[in-house]
Amino acid sequence: MILLVLTASVLIAGVTVYQYREQSKDYHRDRLERKESQIVQSMEYTLKATTYPVTTENLTLIFKDEIYRIADVQNVNFNLYDLKGQLIKSSRPKFKYDSISSQLKPEIISRISNSVEKRYVEQNAAVGDKYQDSYRYITDNKFKPIGILNIPYYEDNTFNDMELREFMMRLGAVYLVMLGIAIGLAFFISKYITRSLQTISEKMNQTRLTQRNEKIILAKPSTEIRNLIESYNGMIDQLEASAAKLARSEREQAWREMAKQVAHEIKNPLTPMRLSIQSFERKFDPKDPEVDIKVAEFSKTIIQQIDTLSSIASAFSSFADMPAQQNETLNVVQTVKLALDIFNENYIHFIADEERIIAKLDRTQLVRIVTNLVKNAIQAVPDVSSPRILVSVASEGNQVKISIADNGIGIADDYKDKIFEPKFTTKTSGMGLGLGMVRNIVETYEGTIDFTSQKGKGTVFTVKFPKAA
């Protein structure tokens, strides 16, 4: 709207200036024609009343004094030339000191003679002012040319210029008022439009897939805004339907992931239980003097794995954390050492800086962490000529550090960022849930887990937990 007002003001100002100039040109042209016509009539009257023969030679005598009277009556100075362009008489008494040409240019005479009206007007300029020179034939009673009439006409535009300035000032004042009104209207109209758009924008910013979104309701909106609101409300309906489908799909996916993880977690204790039973069956000697101690250790190991299975089943039935946290104050060194007893590989070694390092953890979950990491280490060294796995427990400030190091195949750089992602695995078997589960357990107890690895040289996993206060 503001641009429209500014454009209109510029165009109207331009048209006004152009119109004033054209009007000034028409005015001076008409005025010159009127003055010329009046002088010609006065000269014709003089030629009819004179007693001299009407010839070119007698024009000086005929208009000796009459030329001044006519110029005074018409308030216009003029000059008389013969047919060859020689100055005969001028209404100015001292024309010889003036800039009046005493001889007309041949092209002027040619233009007069070739003109249909036997008249020629020349546009000139002097000292920055415009003026016109009108030339036409003077004829006798038989319309025979006897001389040339020249009327210099100076264009005085002072009045028109003053009128133009006054008009432009009035026009400018009017357009300033219109510009102020346009700015005010543009402001209020834009506020009215953007108020509705602001409401829509705020609603859109509040739109979330996981929550119920409110529809937009505005009283008497414009057609465009109403169409926009209807589109938004329709989108909200579709979004709610999509959210419901997505939630249903996520629940189904969660159950599938839970089932996979439970199956994986059940296999973890079953494998060491199988190995323990096979080892006990192979090495059991009823005559061994320490048979009672070995049976007790075997029973303790089996019961520990059975407890793990029981906790997994309980957690799955309640769809809570697997397994539920049962914090207890325990000796990490002893618990880790006990977790390694289920492995029969002679290349697994355990060292500890201290005999007792106390922390508040769930015994079962700590065992699960150790067994998962050791199993991964065992799977990393099948093709190594001299495999070695070192499990160590040490104090580090107010934390307990558990390290599982192997000299296996290592982890490729491309896989290091994905190693803890659920379902990621580089093995031909397994679901890739072990390390993801381990990290979740560690973070639950405000611990940290990281690793360093070199391809072909081995890997070291480090788990840290806060010590008991």
The reported pLDDT for the residue numbered 192 is: 73
Of the candidate ranges 50-59, 229-238, 359-368, 447-456, the one whose mean pLDDT is the lowest: 229-238
Of 123, 184, 177, 190, which is closest to residue 153 (Cα–Cα)? Answer: 123
Of 203, 201, 208, 214, which is closest to residue 243 (Cα–Cα)? Answer: 208
Domain of 412 in residue numbering reads as 325-466
The reported pLDDT for the residue numbered 465 is: 93
Q: Residue 218: which H helix or E strand, with range?
A: none
Write down which residue in 162, 195, 224 finishes a domain.
162
Write down which residue in 139, 162, 185 finishes a domain.
162
Task: Report if residue 60 sits inside a domain.
Answer: yes
CATH number for the domain that contains residue 383? 3.30.565.10
Give CA–CA dist 376/380, Å, rounded: 6
Find all residues with CB under 8 Å of 384, minimum gap 6, and list them.
407, 408, 409
Task: Report if residue 98 sits inside a domain.
Answer: yes
Task: Report if residue 242 sits inside a domain.
Answer: no
The reported pLDDT for the residue numbered 433 is: 47
Task: Report if residue 211 sits inside a domain.
Answer: no
The reported pLDDT for the residue numbered 319 is: 40
Q: For 189-347, where are the E strands, in sequence order?
A: 328-331
Task: Report if residue 277 sits inside a domain.
Answer: no
Task: Report if residue 409 sits inside a domain.
Answer: yes
CATH number for the domain that contains residue 11? 3.30.450.20
Amino acid present at 246 = L
Task: Report if residue 329 sits inside a domain.
Answer: yes
Per cent of the chain over pLDDT 90 is 19
User: What pLDDT digit, counting tens, does each position of 408-444 carry?
Assistant: 988 888 778 778 775 545 543 333 346 777 888 888 8
User: What pLDDT digit, counting tens, does each position of 142-162 carry?
Assistant: 889 999 999 988 777 777 778
Tell me the three-class secondary structure of 376-438, residue by residue: HHHHCCCCCCCCCEEEEEEEECCEEEEEEEECCCCCCHHHHHHCCCCCCCCCCCCCCCHHHHH
Write down which residue in 140, 162, 184 finishes a domain.
162
pTM, to two decimals: 0.38
Phi, psi (5° rounding) for residue 462? Answer: -125, 125
The reported pLDDT for the residue numbered 418 is: 75
Number of domains in the chain: 2
Instruction: Look at residue 157 and give its three-state secondary structure.
Output: coil
Instruction: Give burial (CB, 10 Å; 0-12/13-18/19+) of 388.
Output: middle
Task: Report if residue 375 sits inside a domain.
Answer: yes
Q: Give me the sheet containing 79-81, strands edge to edge.
A: 87-90, 79-81, 145-154, 129-139, 119-126
| Vertex 10 angle, CA 5 and 14, to 5° | 145
